Amino acid sequence: MLRFANAFKIRVHRYVTHLVRSCASTKSGELEVLEEALRAYTQPGNRCGNLKALKQLLDEFVRCCDPRKVHLCKEICRLAYVTGHHAQCADFYFSCCSIAHVALSDAVVNAAAYTLEPEYLRRCLSSIDSADNVKGPSFTEAPIVLRIFWHSTRCFVCIAHDIPSDAKLSTETGEADTKRGGERSGRAAEYRDISHEAFRLLRLPSNVVFDKWWYTSRRHVLYNRNDWGEAAIYEQYFSCLERHFGDKSAEWPNPYCLVSMMRSCSRAERWPLAHRYAEIAHKHLLRTDTPPDDALLQQCLSLFSSSSEDRKGALWFKQFRVVHRGYVPSVAVVHTVAKLAGEARDDSLAAWSLETLLSERQASPLSSRDIFPSLVALAKCHVKEFKKILRELEESELVELNEEEKLYLHLLYSRRSLYFQEDMVQHVEKHLTHVVGCLSRAGFTVRNVGLLLLAMQELEHVDFMRYYNIFKKELHADINATTSAQWLAVALEWAQKQPALKHDDYESLRNETHILLQQTESQRSLLCPQLTSKIGSRLAKLQRSLGKEVDVSAATENREGHGPLMRFTRQRRHLPRSRPPWDGWGVLPKPTEHYGTPVAYVKPLLRVSGGVFSTSECRATWGVN
């Protein structure tokens, strides 16, 4: 299998290189040849791709003068940004802007910032339509301008903390260090100018001064890394306008602004702030005087899913359907609803998603890939007639499923069956004995194997480690570090529940855990801190249950904070909110309705019937001697 995969990658690499050279040899730079090379590079079998050949291909796209390349702008910019060719991403976007107006995307702004060249961010600001700038804080480009402001401030902070002060510049540093320090100071000044220009385009209220605003922003960037910093900048912008508009604060944010703000909170896992935005979004979506916005609706549903509130999201969408009875959602919205229904085990909502996709109100006929998410939701809900529905769809040629998709649906549907263990063991054994070395041909891909291992762990199957070792060996070339860590976490969970764990299995899991944690220690970005903390804590728990000495590496410590405490803070909103026993004895002053006025929280007296409790009465009430 590995030999076949390597040979296929070599053939794809040669084909892409040949097409790139043919592109370079063409005088007119024909767009068709370039697009063919792009399709060859992005096909599924070319995941590892040749980055050098891709860079040459992107350079040819930048030099191409064909006006039709504007239609490929979004796709090529996204590909260049994901593969790390940030300068080519920005250059191709600006070359398209010289032909026609193209909307500025987040990927282009991110790529322009990661080039570490201030000129790219400055050109991004100049590409924003000047007609939208006069609309103030509600104009459509506000999130993009805010993102440019965040990136320029972030770059300034990164440079400023490395700029040597005059006291550090001694004669021993030499002229080279002095010159380098001057260049960094000049670049920092350029980034400050870009931040000032972005601040001007935001059209904030007149009482907001740049110096004070920028000082707060720099502190947000300095003390909040990556996604947390972005969410903090969006919160600063939102809070400023919320104080300015007062009671009308729910009217100014347009759907595009709300989508960007909610997305930043989801990435940073700042759920309380995300729900503040979601409340305003719900008011927008439940209005009957305007049609609902698809992007905003999809983001609200995605927020329910990412914050583990699937049932609440399913109930809210049913309320939305009552308000907008004639609304025809887009395919992307239906897919999000199907995912929500599957996680919430809401069979009626899952059936609605399939009926909506198959209805005649759809603008164009849908493919099998478009219908598949609804089938996944029905399988998760364990609908009684699921197999009959699937058979009828296949007979009517509405869906065409391959072996991998059929096995995935079968696993999801049978997982809640009483006979799942006997069913799947026979199915797996049949392929392991006849198709060893070609598991992917039998449908056992990374997705299906992960689901199968999770189901076997829940059943506490005695042969779990046998299947675990076979699957890891056969699919070694297809799994990445994150997938391997997820499978290891499942295996450690299974080992904890075994009354008589074999010593060889324990040593195998222990060695694998230490190897993975050592790799994470050397490469901090290899795994997320939550997954590393989960693996370390499960190994420590297993060692304690077996009476072994806990030897988990320091790499398991969560760099973002204490692991269990961080998990509690992310899930604390799910705790029941009961009234405290002292509620009613005293009244806390309510926060003032006028923003900007300081609120004094006064410690209340415990009053009953107009009198004040004494110390002895308090002790008697609480049962304290």
* CA pair distance 333, 259, nearest whole angstrom: 14
For residue 564, pLDDT over 60 is answered with no
Average per-residue pLDDT for the chain = 77
Residues 6+ apart with CB under 8 A from 196: 210, 214
pLDDT given for residue 334 in this prediction: 94
DSSP state of 445: -
* CA pair distance 351, 178, nearest whole angstrom: 69
For residue 496, pLDDT over 80 is answered with yes
For residue 615, pLDDT over 50 is answered with no
Tell me the two tokens of residue 361.
């109100």
Of the listed ranges 80-94, 168-182, 261-275, 519-533, the one predicted with least confidence: 168-182
Q: Count how many Cα atoms sit within 13 Å of the Cα of residue 14 in the half-sphere of its side chain.
A: 6
570: part of which helix (H) or strand (E)?
Answer: helix 563-571
Residue 53 Cα distances to 17, 22, 88, 95, 258, angstroms: 6, 12, 13, 20, 39
Confidence of residue 65 (pLDDT cuts 50, 70, 90): confident
Residue 238 Cα distances to 204, 263, 570, angstroms: 11, 14, 22
Domain edges within the chain: 481-572, 583-625
Yes or no: say if 475 and 446 are a contact pair by the CB < 8 Å rule. Answer: yes
Average pLDDT over residues 307-334: 91
Helices 331-344, 310-323: inter-axial angle, 10-degree rounding:
130
For residue 236, pLDDT over 80 is answered with yes
Each residue's pLDDT tens digit, 370-398: 999 999 999 999 998 899 999 999 998 88
Please return the burial class of 23, using the count of CB atoms within 10 Å of its CB with bins 0-12, 13-18 and 19+: buried
Confidence of residue 112 (pLDDT cuts 50, 70, 90): very high
Of the listed ranges 44-58, 311-325, 332-346, 362-376, the one predicted with least confidence: 44-58
pLDDT given for residue 226 in this prediction: 72
For residue 259, pLDDT over 80 is answered with yes
pLDDT given for residue 510 in this prediction: 92
For residue 175, pLDDT over 90 is answered with no
pLDDT given for residue 570 in this prediction: 53
pLDDT given for residue 20 in this prediction: 43
Residue 222 vs residue 511, higher pLDDT = 511
Of the listed ranges 101-105, 399-403, 500-504, 520-524, the one predicted with least confidence: 520-524
Each residue's pLDDT tens digit, 144-171: 899 999 999 999 988 887 644 333 333 4
346: part of which helix (H) or strand (E)?
Answer: none
Of the listed ranges 372-376, 467-471, 569-573, the one predicted with least confidence: 569-573
* CA pair distance 324, 282, nearest whole angstrom: 13
For residue 592, pLDDT over 70 is answered with no
For residue 568, pLDDT over 60 is answered with no
**Alpha helices (H) in 386-528, listed in sequence order:** 386-395, 403-414, 420-434, 446-459, 464-474, 481-496, 503-522
Q: Which of 286, 287, 301 is nearest to 340 (CA)?
A: 301
Please return the burial class of 111, using the count of CB atoms within 10 Å of its CB with bins 0-12, 13-18 and 19+: buried
pLDDT given for residue 582 in this prediction: 38
Write out the DSSP string of 375-394. Answer: HHHHHHTT-TTHHHHHHHHH
Average pLDDT over residues 340-366: 88
Greatest mean pLDDT among 4-8, 287-291, 551-555 lies in: 287-291
Average pLDDT over residues 446-463: 89
Each residue's pLDDT tens digit, 408-445: 998 898 887 777 777 777 777 776 655 445 555 567 88
For residue 584, pLDDT over 50 is answered with no
Confidence of residue 12 (pLDDT cuts 50, 70, 90): very low
pLDDT given for residue 94 in this prediction: 92
Residue 501 vs residue 28, higher pLDDT = 501
pLDDT given for residue 567 in this prediction: 53
Q: What share of the chain is helix, strand, coil (3-state, %, to 5)?
A: 70, 0, 30
Greatest mean pLDDT among 233-242, 547-556, 578-587 lies in: 233-242
pLDDT given for residue 530 in this prediction: 78
pLDDT given for residue 431 in this prediction: 65
Confidence of residue 43 (pLDDT cuts 50, 70, 90): low
Residue 46 vs residue 209, higher pLDDT = 209
Please return the burial class of 199, using the count of CB atoms within 10 Å of its CB with bins 0-12, 13-18 and 19+: buried
For residue 222, pLDDT over 60 is answered with yes
Average pLDDT over residues 295-302: 93
